[in-house]
Amino acid sequence: MTTMRRSLSSLGALVTFEAAARLESFTLAAGELGVTQAAVSRQIKLLEQDLGTPLFARGHRGVTLTPAGRLLASAATGAFDRVTEAIGMVRRLAAPDLVTVSATLAFAHFWLMPRLPAFRAAHPGIRLRLVAEDASIDLRQSPRDVLVRYGLAPFEDGRSIVSCPDEVFPVCVPALARTVGSSHFDLSALPLIDFDPIDPTWLGWQQWADRTGQPGPSARGDLRFSHYADTVYAALNGAGVALGWSRLITDLLVQGQLVRLGGQSVVPDERYHVVVPHGREPGPAAARFTDWLAGNLTQAPEG
């Protein structure tokens, strides 16, 4: 370890290389690190010059690791995984009552936030840090204690403690439902609200129509957003009809702020999972929150 600083000109270049090797893409590495693709390429070129050998073979369709690159990538990823795990342990020792939770923006807004007061009242000594992010994360590279993930298990970076399905159907405000008729409707005649999902497993209107056997919408939505949460807020303000994930909007249905249109729905293969990192046992505070989260998530929606 005493010779590492002399062996490498830049530890930052090694971090950049590890991301590019793991993701097999300079572009994806740039997105993860928050830099430009040119900066990633420059850092890796400096590392290759320092080591005296190419680490990637560049092609028109992307990059692939050379034998030397594979050797370094295996060592770097393993080392960074151990460092990440150690950092998590140090943080838990320094703040054993702090639990870091990650979920999508929509799940955080519509499901978790209304239920947090009950948890905090029952566990006043536990501090929570909620990170709302729609982009996928790797728990092996993250200090998150628990993650709510929508997808198909098993996962490479963590184990699913519990999972539950969801049901997707059209929703809007009651006043709009009365004008279009809540039983039978034509998608092409509705003011549809859509969004651009980061995760392709999230259904859009065309996919929902295909799976229910209905004629598809005439356009890609009259109103589009970059986050699903914004489609719900737009629907709540009477801007049109959105696709509703039952577990996310059950409170809005129970309260009558949104109503369901028609009787057709889709139950995706993907499920919600409460995920904890592999090889990282939760501390007492994280275990209490994880148990509470799993128990509440698996309760059937009331709407």
Domain spans, the chain: 4-82, 95-162+270-297, 168-260
CA end-to-end span of the chain? 58
Q: Who wins on pLDDT, 260 or 303?
A: 260
Where does the pLDDT of residue 299 fall: very low under 50, low under 70, confident under 90, or very high at 90 and above? confident
How many CB atoms neighbour CB 287 within 10 A?
A: 15
Bridge partners, residue 129, by sequence = 100
Side chain identity, residue 92: R
> What is the SS3 assignment for 14?
helix
Give Cβ neighbours of residue 49 (< 8 Å, ≥ 6 apart). none
231 and 172 Cβ atoms separated by less than 8 Å: no
Span 168-260: which CATH code?
3.40.190.10
What is the token pair recorded at 292? 């509470």
> What is the SS3 assignment for 88?
helix
Where does the pLDDT of residue 2 fall: very low under 50, low under 70, confident under 90, or very high at 90 and above? very low
Span 4-82: which CATH code?
1.10.10.10
pTM of the model: 0.68
| Same fold for the pair 4-82 and 168-260 | no
Average pLDDT score, the chain: 86
17 and 66 Cβ atoms separated by less than 8 Å: no
Where does the pLDDT of residue 1 fall: very low under 50, low under 70, confident under 90, or very high at 90 and above? very low
Q: Who wins on pLDDT, 11 or 207?
A: 207
Q: Is the pLDDT of residue 149 over 60?
A: yes
Span 95-162+270-297: which CATH code?
3.40.190.10
112 and 119 Cβ atoms separated by less than 8 Å: no
